[in-house]
């Protein structure tokens, strides 16, 4: 009977780890959605300022920065997703 509590504790730790991984995935997905919205907004602003080369350059640089952040978040999401999947398979 003493073997049962460690099993339960290990399962509990696994469950907490899964919940933490899912929380991180949700945070990451929210960041991705925000960054995608920023890119769409910048696209719209670029269209509005198509004749203003200086403003267009500034917006382009901003868009490139946001695109880079988006790529990083996508990579982070992929890693977190794989970790969450591995944790689910362990349980």
For 44-85, what is each residue's pLDDT tens digit?
A: 999 999 999 999 999 999 999 999 999 999 999 999 999 888
C-alpha angle 45/72/32, rounded to 5°?
55
Q: How confident is the model at residue 89 (pLDDT cuts 50, 70, 90)?
A: confident
First to last CA, the chain: 21
Q: How confident is the model at residue 13 (pLDDT cuts 50, 70, 90)?
A: low
Joined together, the tokens standing for residue 6 give 């460690």
What pLDDT score does 44 carry? Answer: 97
Q: Cα Rg for the chain, rounded, in angstroms?
A: 21
pLDDT at 87: 79
All structural domains of the chain, each given as residue ranges with its CATH number in brackets, are 8-90 (1.10.287)
């Amino acid at each position: 009977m003493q073997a049962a509590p460690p099993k339960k504790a290990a399962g509990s730790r696994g469950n907490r780890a899964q919940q933490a991984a899912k929380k991180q995935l949700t945070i990451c997905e929210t960041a991705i959605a925000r960054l995608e919205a920023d890119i769409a907004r910048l696209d719209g602003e670029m269209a509005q300022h198509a004749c203003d080369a200086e403003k267009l350059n500034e917006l382009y640089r901003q868009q490139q920065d946001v695109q880079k952040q988006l790529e990083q978040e996508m990579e982070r999401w992929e890693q977190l997703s794989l970790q969450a999947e591995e944790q689910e398979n362990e349980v």
